[in-house]
Amino acid sequence: MQQFAYERPTELTDAIGLLLSDGAAARPLAGGTDLIIRLRDRTIETGVVVDVKRIPELAPEIRVEGDRLVIGANTVMTDIAGHDTIRRRFAALAEAALVVGSVQIRNRATLAGNICNASPAADTAPALLVYGAEVVVAGPDGTRRIPIDDWFVRSGVTTIRPGELVTAIELPLVDGAVGGTHLRRTRRRGHDLASVTLACAVRAGAPVVLAYGSVGPRPWLVTDDSGTLADPASTVDDRGAVLDRLFAAAAPSPTSMRASPAYRLAMLRVLGLRAVETAHRRLAEAAA
Ligand SMILES: Cc1cc2nc3c(=O)[nH]c(=O)nc-3n(C[C@H](O)[C@H](O)[C@H](O)COP(=O)(O)OP(=O)(O)OC[C@H]3O[C@@H](n4cnc5c(N)ncnc54)[C@H](O)[C@@H]3O)c2cc1C
């Protein structure tokens, strides 16, 4: 393990100041389930680790504020998976949180850490994309909100700036019923990242949205403007043709040890068809 200073500020401004020290190479520490591994294998080098778990603005709480559900940056997967409003209104996010790692990992792993690590296989990313989440960040120039589709750049890289911290992730609470689901394929059950991860959301009178990950450098959001996926009576063949068009940007790594590109692309289509079917069923149940 490399040598670094460990800081545990209790004020947001102190944390921002610390993050700008060490030539802006200082790193926030939340649950540590990604960061500690990367410090150990030296894929991240830093002189300062800033533990953010005592900063009140990042507190692990889930609350409704007006027409938004606010999830504090330090909220862990266990609490997201078990939260009543998330299970009812944002089922894909609850399902995604529930498959991250193991019980022990989910008790430490935060939602903010998952999107800041920015793995293309991050399980919560597709769900946040289909629900139109925004990332709230605080930094030296104040607070800004970043639509989640503008957040991911490529593996390990986001649009966060030096000195900035994620304080919360917000989800719009839209009127009307919504059917959603998250699906994934892994090489083996349990402690493994996804070979394909996918979420889908269906609302009455709105285009169907899907997002998929682990098949390219970042997770992607796609919208079906043809109306085919929104039609509960559309055929599997018609849906498959639409999904083929929507997934055209998928470009799995040819060197990954997890799965071949051909397998990932085939599974992406299978999961897409299943997700649309499940989301329609859930929409019908929610509207009944
Ligand atoms: C055994 C194992 C299994 C796993 N399985 C899965 C899985 O199935 N699916 C999956 O998606 N992931 C999985 N992971 C990865 C990991 O658990 C998640 O990405 C987790 O959500 C990271 O959260 P954390 O709080 O531990 O982040 P940390 O490790 O503390 O931080 C991760 C990154 O985010 C930065 N960061 C953290 N908080 C903030 C903040 N508030 N503002 C700005 N930057 C911040 C850190 O500096 C670091 O770069 C697994 C990890 C392990 C070790």
pLDDT, average across residues 97-114: 96
For the cut 90, the answer to whether the pLDDT of residue 157 exceeds it is: yes
Q: Cα dihedral sign for 271, 186, 109, 125?
A: negative
191 lines ligand 1 (CB under 6 A): yes
Q: Which atom of ligand 1 is nearest to the CA of 124?
A: 11
Classify 17 as helix, strand or coil: helix
Q: Which residue is associated with the tokens 């060197």?
A: 255
| 285 CA from centroid of ligand 1 (Å) | 34
Give residue 270 CA to ligand 1 midpoint distance, Å.
28
Residues 279 and 33: their CA atoms lie apart, in Å, by 31
pLDDT band at 22; cut points 50, 70, 90: confident
Whether ligand 1 lies within 6 angstroms of the CB of 58 is answered as yes
- 208-234 tens-digit pLDDT: 999 999 999 999 999 999 999 999 999
pLDDT, residue 239, reads: 98
Q: Give the number of residues written for the chain.
A: 288
Q: Quick one: pLDDT at residue 288?
A: 78
- Mean pLDDT value of segment 73-90: 97
**pLDDT over threshold 90, residue 173:** yes
Q: Residue 189: its pLDDT value, please?
A: 63
Q: Which of 177, 179, 187, 199 is nearest to 97 (CA)?
A: 199
**Ligand 1 contact via 239 beta carbon (within 6 Å):** no
Question: Tens digit of pLDDT for each residue in 177-188?
Answer: 999 999 998 876
Continuous segment of H or E residues that includes residue 106: helix 103-106
Ligand 1 atom closest to residue 27's alpha carbon, by position in its atom list: 47
Determine the distance separating the centroid of ligand 1 and the alpha carbon of 207, expressed in angstroms.
32
Encode pLDDT of 31-59 as tens digits: 999 999 999 999 999 999 999 999 999 99
Question: Ligand 1 mean position to 239 CA, how many Å?
Answer: 34
Is residue 190 scored above 70 in pLDDT? Answer: no
Closest CA to 193 of 34, 74, 28, 29: 34
Q: Model confidence over 240-281: pLDDT tens digits?
A: 999 999 999 998 887 777 788 899 999 999 999 999 999 999
Q: Does ligand 1 come within 6 angstroms of the Cβ of 139? A: no
User: What tokens were used for 224?
Assistant: 């079906």
What value does the mean pLDDT of the chain take?
94
pLDDT at residue 124 greater than cutoff 90: yes
Cβ of 28 less than 6 Å from ligand 1: yes
Ligand 1 pocket check for 286: Cβ under 6 Å: no
**What are the CA-CA distances from residue 243 to residues 102, 224, 236, 274 (Å)?**
31, 8, 10, 11
Helices of type H across 20-109: 35-40, 77-81, 84-89, 91-98, 103-106
CB under 8 Å to 213, separation ≥6 — which residues? 120, 121, 122, 123, 125, 126, 194, 196, 197, 198, 219, 220
Nearest to 75 by CA among 100, 50, 110: 110
Q: How far is the CA of 151 from the centre of ligand 1 (A)?
A: 16
Give me the pLDDT at residue 11, please: 98
pLDDT at 194: 80
CA 268 – ligand 1 centroid, Å: 24
From atom 27 of ligand 1, which residue's Cα is the shortest distance away? 113
Mean pLDDT of 162-177: 95
pLDDT score recorded for residue 23: 80
* Nearest alpha carbon to residue 267 among 224, 230, 213: 213
Question: How confident is the model at residue 259, as a pLDDT?
Answer: 81
**pLDDT for the residue 261:** 87
Phi/psi at 26 (nearest 5 deg)? -60, 150
Residue 256: burial class (beta carbons within 10 Å; 0-12, 13-18, 19+): middle
- Gap from CA of 241 to ligand 1 centroid (Å): 35
